[in-house]
């Protein structure tokens, strides 16, 4: 049979299987919809069932396109079709029509090779458009071959597709080193080092989908994805929903604190100063100093004065402050103080009655004797209590405790001695006071303290981690959480939410204080951090992962590497070795696996003609890559002017804004000025590696610039 007839037969076979799976999916959607309509939220069990049903319904609804993308044929004849989500068989005992890509049985689709077939005879990649199968790509896993890329034909076809400005899923083309990271254990922090185009972000997002599937308990707490910019979050925004995940909150370090946003920019020097690890200990010591000192504490109750001795107050403070934030410690102190006050008042009542009774004992004794003589029945009441014998019964003591607890003046007097603290006001006061900074943050030099104290009002980006730390140390007094139906909606409104897992993209950019924000939201260190140390542009001075995460994670992290570049063509990656060496890196650039056949080009442009030349080159690239995307990367100082010159559908960004993004064609404008910026060679490395097909550069002629 001719090859085209074999291909047509395979496509027809997969189309039939896809039609059956889609029909069963539609049936399942109907069943879930009916079940959802029948669920009445009368208790927590019903509410949980409703959330679970709705999540599964959304998962199936979003899988309309690309429901099936692969097939595994085992040596024993077993056949599995692999898809974006699982589709059950017609009956409970039937095998699933589509196996969820996250299931253990689906793993050989990503890891089997001709050298290690893992019990598989064949792997088939299935390409679809909507509900139509348009192509298949078979690999025979018979033990021969060089064990190279998994599904190379499908992978390279996917890489050659036009970019749309939004990241797509890659579940059909994950490679072995990527899949190993996706399915790595969730416990502990995993740092993934990978150069440009190695699929760091793809791996991180698919890891989220896998972990939520394999560990449902993580879904109950939700997953936080921290990205470098809102543009980046928009770019990846459709990936996790397409994989069926909804228990995800996306944020940047600047937007993670509910209700707080930076109001101004700041210098790199200040950002570096305020990002240092020493601030955490400094803020802890400062908040500890806000606890009132132990002293004799007077208490007034029903016109009587009582005194809690200093030694008792000191003991209560020590117990209350152990492991608690400022406001929680005060509440714990109040609870203990109520017990002490109850004992004091109860003891005082007994003493008062005993004193009054001393002068009446003889009279009462005579009366009692007389009553005893007159009462020939010899009856006694057996009653006890303060009114009878001066001693309070347990019931009377508990009633007294309740009255003291409910007494507003009692609490008010304590609040005056130990007042509320507003984290924002407390931090602003601290940062503006050089004398206090010298005492609290001894690691700062006099010049650095002066810089911090001289800042204008309003929050800068580096203040957000400090405010987050201060808010955590002081605490939210009586905060009420959202009652929204979905985990993500509840979590996004809470500063103190603890997530099941946290993913950090472009992790090399985070300062130590930003890493403290991450650790607070994942105290069990269930963290996946992906990045490239050679693309660092942040103000901090660290040049190794140990330097970046060591202050916060200590030894509770491990590292994996991605070594293959799937995005950037060989022709472009050939330029990067020299740039990395100039940046002081000891790393080799990742190995590119594909060629675009287009050599990078460079043009010289006069300074005065740069805007027009940029616009013309961008138009040229846009025409050449119709249906795809074009991006312009330039020094930060040139971005506003060039943005006004080029067509509105072509983004113009600085290297920092380009991190994590990709376009079919990229125009790098004035690379020499990019190099002149802080960490300039790192920035140029970012700029050069954003394209999937073509790279152009416009250099400003030095003669015209002089």
pLDDT, tens digit, 9 for 90 and up, residues 311-361: 999 999 999 999 899 999 999 999 999 999 999 888 865 444 444 444 444
Q: Which residues pair with 132 in a beta bridge?
A: 129
Cα–Cα nearest to 564, from 598, 595, 530, 589 = 589
Which tens digit of pLDDT belongs to each residue from 680-695?
999 999 999 999 999 9
Cα–Cα nearest to 690, from 647, 637, 642, 631 = 631
Which tens digit of pLDDT belongs to each residue from 86-128?
898 888 788 899 998 888 888 888 777 676 788 989 888 888 8
List Cβ<8 Å contacts ≥24 apart for 259-265.
Answer: 260/424, 260/459, 260/464, 260/467, 261/459, 262/459, 262/460, 262/461, 262/463, 262/464, 263/458, 263/459, 263/460, 264/456, 264/458, 264/459, 264/460, 265/460, 265/461
DSSP-H helix ranges across 228-277: 230-236, 239-242, 268-274
Provide the mean pLDDT of the chain. Answer: 83
Distances (CA, A) of 266 to 380, 426, 447, 459, 517: 84, 21, 16, 9, 20
Domain residue limits, the chain = 1-167, 200-286+457-562, 570-700
Alpha-carbon radius of gyration of the chain: 34
Asked whether 696 and 617 are in contact (CB, 8 A), the reply is yes
Q: Which residues pair with 447 in a beta bridge?
A: none
User: Distance between CA atoms of 282 and 324, rounded to whole angstroms?
Assistant: 17
Cα–Cα nearest to 473, from 330, 326, 279 = 326
Q: pLDDT confidence of 594, banded at 50, 70, 90? A: confident
How many Cβ atoms from other residues are within 10 Å of residue 338's Cβ? 19
User: Distance between CA atoms of 261 and 458, rounded to whole angstroms?
Assistant: 10
DSSP-H helix ranges across 2-73: 3-38, 44-61
Tell me, what's the pLDDT at 380?
A: 39
Q: Which CATH architecture fits 200-286+457-562?
A: 3-Layer(aba) Sandwich (3.40)
Contacts of 372 (CB under 8 A, 6+ apart): 378
User: Distance between CA atoms of 701 and 698, rounded to whole angstroms?
Assistant: 9
Asked whether 228 and 659 are in contact (CB, 8 A), the reply is yes
Which tens digit of pLDDT belongs to each residue from 367-424?
344 434 444 434 333 444 555 445 778 888 889 889 988 988 888 888 899 999 999 9
In the block, residue with structure tokens 């347990």: 394
Name the least confident of 124-138, 263-277, 466-480: 466-480
Q: pLDDT confidence of 607, banded at 50, 70, 90? A: very high
The alpha carbon of residue 179 and the mean position of all alpha carbons in its chain are separated, in whole angstroms, by: 21
Q: To 10 degrees, what angle do helices 44-61 and 3-38 make?
A: 160
Q: What is the dihedral of CA 656, 659, 662, 665, to 10 degrees?
A: 30
Binding annotation for ATP: 194-201
- Percent of the chain residues topping a pLDDT of 90: 47
CA angle 217, 256, 451 (to 5 degrees): 145
Tell me, what's the pLDDT at 142?
A: 63
Tell me, what's the pLDDT at 695?
A: 98
Instruction: Say if 200-286+457-562 and 570-700 have the same CATH topology.
Output: yes
User: Distance between CA atoms of 307 and 296, rounded to whole angstroms?
Assistant: 6
Tell me, what's the pLDDT at 1?
A: 56
Cα–Cα nearest to 591, from 620, 557, 568 = 568
Q: pLDDT confidence of 275, banded at 50, 70, 90? A: very high
How many Cβ atoms from other residues are within 10 Å of residue 609's Cβ? 14
Binding annotation: 194-201
Cα–Cα nearest to 441, from 451, 177, 387, 405 = 451
Distances (CA, A) of 585 to 391, 519, 592: 80, 28, 19
User: Distance between CA atoms of 514 and 469, rounded to whole angstroms?
Assistant: 10
Name the phi and psi angles at 663, rounded to 5.
-135, 160
Q: pLDDT confidence of 522, banded at 50, 70, 90? A: very high
Tokens of 23: 């029909």
Sheet holding 189-194, edge to edge: 248-251, 223-226, 501-505, 527-531, 189-194, 557-562
The three-state secondary structure class of 211 is helix
Tell me, what's the pLDDT at 236?
A: 67
Q: Of how many residues is the chain composed?
A: 706
Which tens digit of pLDDT belongs to each residue from 141-177?
865 444 444 444 444 454 455 444 444 444 445 677 8
Q: pLDDT confidence of 482, banded at 50, 70, 90? A: low
Cα–Cα nearest to 195, from 667, 598, 693, 567 = 567
Contacts of 237 (CB under 8 A, 6+ apart): 166, 250
Mean pLDDT confidence for 215-219: 78
Residue 136 belongs to what H/E stretch? strand 132-140
Tell me, what's the pLDDT at 493?
A: 83
Asked whether 490 and 258 are in contact (CB, 8 A), the reply is no
Residue 298 belongs to what H/E stretch? strand 297-301
How many Cβ atoms from other residues are within 10 Å of residue 117's Cβ? 20
624 or 380: which leads in pLDDT: 624
Q: What is the longest distance spanned by two Cα atoms in the chain?
A: 128
The three-state secondary structure class of 656 is helix
Asked whether 563 and 590 are in contact (CB, 8 A), the reply is yes
Which tens digit of pLDDT belongs to each residue from 35-84?
888 776 666 677 777 777 887 887 788 777 778 888 999 999 999 998 88
Cα–Cα nearest to 326, from 365, 291, 293, 283 = 291
The alpha carbon of residue 80 and the mean position of all alpha carbons in its chain are separated, in whole angstroms, by: 34
- Percent of the chain residues topping a pLDDT of 70: 84
Give the number of C-alpha atoms closer than 13 A to the C-alpha of residue 314, restricted to the C-beta side.
Answer: 6
Instruction: Please return the burial class of 292, using the count of CB atoms within 10 Å of its CB with bins 0-12, 13-18 and 19+.
Output: middle
Asked whether 212 and 245 are in contact (CB, 8 A), the reply is yes
Cα–Cα nearest to 661, from 619, 625, 624, 633 = 633
Tell me, what's the pLDDT at 159?
A: 45
- Please say if the pLDDT value at position 513 is more than 70: yes
Cα–Cα nearest to 425, from 433, 417, 413 = 433
In the block, residue with structure tokens 């890659």: 170
Task: Give the homologous superfamily in CATH for domain 570-700.
Answer: P-loop containing nucleotide triphosphate hydrolases (3.40.50.300)
Tokens of 672: 């020499």
Mean pLDDT confidence for 13-17: 93
The three-state secondary structure class of 128 is strand
Contacts of 52 (CB under 8 A, 6+ apart): none
User: Distance between CA atoms of 568 and 176, rounded to whole angstroms?
Assistant: 19
The three-state secondary structure class of 415 is helix
Tell me, what's the pLDDT at 240?
A: 60
Which tens digit of pLDDT belongs to each residue from 528-541?
999 999 888 888 88
Tell me, what's the pLDDT at 371?
A: 38
């Amino acid at each position: 049979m001719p090859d085209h007839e074999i291909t047509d037969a395979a496509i027809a076979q997969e189309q039939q299987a896809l039609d059956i799976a889609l029909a069963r999916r539609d049936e399942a959607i109907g069943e879930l919809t009916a079940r959802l309509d029948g669920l009445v939220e009368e208790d927590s069990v019903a509410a949980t069932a409703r959330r679970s049903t709705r999540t599964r319904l959304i998962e199936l609804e979003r899988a309309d396109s690309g429901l099936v993308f692969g097939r595994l044929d085992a040596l024993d004849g077993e056949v599995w079709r692999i898809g974006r989500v699982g589709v059950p068989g017609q009956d409970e005992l039937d095998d699933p029509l589509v196996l969820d890509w996250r299931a253990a049985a689906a793993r050989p689709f990503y890891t089997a090779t001709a050298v290690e077939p893992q019990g598989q005879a064949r792997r088939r990649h299935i390409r679809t458009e909507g509900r139509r199968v348009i192509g298949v790509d078979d690999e025979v896993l018979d033990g021969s071959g060089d064990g190279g890329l998994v599904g190379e034909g499908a992978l390279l076809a996917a890489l050659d597709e036009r970019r749309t400005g939004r990241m797509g899923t890659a579940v059909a083309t994950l490679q072995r080193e990527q899949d190993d990271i996706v399915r790595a254990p969730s416990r502990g922090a995993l740092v993934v080092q990978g150069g440009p185009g190695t699929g760091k972000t793809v791996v991180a997002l698919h890891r989220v989908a896998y972990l939520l599937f394999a560990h449902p308990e993580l879904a109950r707490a939700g997953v936080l994805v921290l990205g470098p910019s809102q543009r980046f979050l928009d770019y990846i925004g459709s990936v996790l929903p397409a994989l069926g995940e909804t228990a995800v909150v996306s944020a940047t370090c600047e937007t993670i604190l509910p209700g707080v946003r930076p109001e101004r920019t700041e210098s790199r020097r200040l950002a570096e100063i305020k990002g240092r690890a020493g601030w955490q200990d400094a803020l802890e010591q400062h908040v500890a100093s806000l606890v009132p000192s132990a002293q004799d504490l007077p208490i007034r109750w029903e016109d009587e004065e009582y005194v809690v001795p200093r030694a008792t107050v000191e003991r209560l403070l020590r117990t209350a402050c152990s492991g608690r934030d400022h406001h929680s410690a005060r509440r714990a102190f109040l609870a203990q103080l109520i017990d002490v006050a109850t004992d004091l008042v109860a003891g005082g009542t007994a003493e008062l009655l005993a004193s009054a009774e001393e002068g009446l004992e003889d009279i009462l004794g005579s009366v009692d004797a007389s009553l005893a003589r007159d009462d020939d029945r010899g009856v006694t009441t057996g009653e006890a209590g303060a009114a009878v014998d001066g001693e309070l019964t347990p019931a009377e003591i508990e009633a007294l405790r309740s009255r003291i607890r409910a007494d507003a003046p009692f609490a008010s007097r304590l609040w005056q001695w130990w007042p509320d603290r507003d984290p924002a006001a407390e931090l602003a006061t601290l940062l503006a006071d050089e004398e206090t900074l010298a005492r609290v943050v001894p690691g700062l030099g006099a010049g650095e303290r002066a810089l911090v104290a001289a800042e204008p009002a309003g929050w800068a980006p580096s203040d957000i981690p400090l405010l987050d730390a201060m808010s955590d140390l002081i605490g939210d007094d009586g905060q009420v959480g959202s009652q929204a139906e979905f985990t993500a909606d509840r979590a996004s409104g809470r500063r103190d939410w603890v997530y099941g897992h946290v993913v950090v993209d472009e992790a090399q950019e985070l300062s130590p204080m930003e890493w403290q924000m991450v650790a607070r939201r994942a105290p069990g260190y269930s963290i996946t951090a992906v990045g490239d140390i050679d693309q660092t542009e942040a103000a901090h001075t660290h040049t190794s992962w140990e330097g970046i995460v060591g202050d916060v994670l200590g030894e509770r992290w491990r590292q994996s590497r991605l070594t293959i570049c799937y995005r950037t063509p060989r022709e472009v990656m050939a330029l990067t070795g020299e740039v990395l060496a100039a940046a002081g890196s000891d790393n080799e650039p990742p190995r590119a696996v594909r060629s675009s056949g287009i050599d990078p080009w460079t043009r010289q442009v006069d300074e005065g003609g740069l805007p027009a030349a940029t616009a013309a080159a961008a138009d040229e690239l846009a025409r050449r890559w119709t249906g795809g995307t074009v991006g312009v990367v330039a020094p930060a100082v040139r971005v506003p002017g060039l943005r006004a010159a080029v067509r509105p559908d072509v983004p113009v960004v600085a290297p920092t804004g380009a991190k994590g993004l990709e376009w079919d064609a990229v125009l790098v404008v004035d690379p020499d000025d990019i190099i002149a910026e802080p960490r300039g060679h790192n920035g140029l490395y970012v700029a050069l590696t954003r394209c999937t097909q073509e790279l152009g550069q416009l250099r400003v002629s030095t003669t015209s610039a002089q």
